[in-house]
């Protein structure tokens, strides 16, 4: 049985309705961030589902040294704290090294371990020791059963508030593939499982000095993942993805989100009613 993990008004696992984790890839500027948060809060409230707002204060793993990374930890956490306060919504962002863990834990409701750092023992343990919920993205290089080791590292601190996220496996030549079996296998750990649909259609480094993406497949992959009985869905969204400073090609336009989410929630309801 998958355990329940409560984060603000959102409840992951335990057969509860799907939780949406969504927001822009990176914090570009405060006004845009607040508008996206307001849109998502209103939509998820109308649909009766939980929301966790995501945005990165620093994208440390970028294709090029000139790529936009975000405002940095101090300014980024200030903006995320405002989102949390103004819209009464929990917030999540990445931590990349040990120095970020303590200040991030003062603001963030969920500490996220990026996929490329999912084997970093010291980082996993430090995140666990904060007592915050920890979301570990499965490395593109890992098999789903390998995530038991990441779970064990965090649980060694006494913290069992762990989410696991699938974001595609490296297929080489700037491509990722998603094996839906991974979602089922990772849920066998007892941890709620999230599907990161927008990063699963990313083409890492596919645009030369930046990553490409195939956002036209986000809906299809999301529907397939939700049909397996997952606990949450992770989407990067933007007012104008073609002008986004980070991950635009794999981000969803805000205008596409309501219809797509309603269709997906209908699938989620059928799956969870049958279990």
pLDDT, tens digit, 9 for 90 and up, residues 188-239 = 999 999 999 999 999 887 666 667 789 999 999 999 999 999 999 999 999 9
Q: For residue 2, give the nearest of 187, 227, 146 by alpha carbon.
A: 187
Using the predicted structure, report yes or no on whether residue 61 has a pLDDT greater than 80. Answer: no
Q: What pLDDT, on a 0 to 100 scale, did the predictor assign at position 208? A: 66
Q: How many domains does the chain have?
A: 1
Instruction: Give the mean pLDDT of the chain.
Output: 95
Q: Which domain holds residue 205?
A: 5-139+161-270
Contact 91, 84 (CB under 8 A): yes
- Asked if residue 212 is part of any domain, the answer here is yes
What's 26's domain CATH number? 3.20.20.70
pLDDT, one tens digit per residue, over 146-198 is 999 999 999 999 999 999 999 999 998 999 999 999 999 999 999 999 999 99
Q: Is residue 223 part of a domain?
A: yes
| Global pTM value | 0.96
d(C-alpha 168, C-alpha 174), whole Å: 12
In a domain, 122, yes or no: yes
**Would 20 be classed as within a structural domain?**
yes
Axis crossing angle, helix 73-87 with helix 98-105, rounded to the nearest 10: 30
In 185-254, DSSP assigns E strands to 193-196, 202-203, 212-213, 232-238, 252-253
In a domain, 146, yes or no: no
């Amino acid at each position: 049985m998958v355990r329940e993990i409560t984060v603000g008004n959102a409840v992951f696992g335990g057969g509860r309705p799907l939780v949406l984790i969504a927001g822009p890839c990176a914090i570009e500027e405060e006004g845009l961030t607040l508008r996206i948060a307001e849109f998502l809060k209103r939509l998820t409230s109308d649909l009766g589902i939980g929301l966790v707002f995501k945005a990165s204060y620093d994208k440390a793993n970028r294709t090029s040294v000139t790529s936009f990374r975000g405002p940095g930890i101090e300014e980024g956490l200030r903006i995320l704290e405002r989102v949390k306060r103004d819209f009464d919504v929990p917030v999540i962002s990445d931590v990349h090294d040990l120095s970020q863990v303590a200040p991030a834990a003062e603001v963030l409701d969920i500490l996220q371990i990026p996929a490329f750092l999912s084997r970093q023992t010291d980082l996993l343990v430090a995140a666990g020791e904060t007592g915050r919920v920890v979301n570990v993205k499965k490395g593109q290089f890992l098999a789903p059963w390998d995530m038991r080791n990441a779970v064990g590292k965090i649980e060694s601190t006494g913290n069992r508030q762990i989410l696991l996220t699938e974001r595609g496996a490296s297929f080489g030549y700037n491509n990722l593939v998603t094996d839906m079996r991974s979602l089922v296998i990772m849920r066998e750990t007892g941890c709620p499982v999230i599907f990161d649909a927008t990063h699963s259609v990313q083409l890492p480094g596919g645009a030369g000095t930046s990553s490409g993406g195939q956002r036209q497949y986000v809906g299809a992959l999301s529907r397939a993942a939700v049909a397996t009985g997952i606990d949450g869905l992770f989407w990067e969204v933007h007012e104008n993805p073609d002008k986004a400073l980070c991950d635009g090609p794999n981000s969803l336009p805000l205008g596409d989100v309501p219809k797509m989410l309603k269709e997906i929630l209908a699938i989620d309801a059928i799956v969870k009613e049958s279990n």
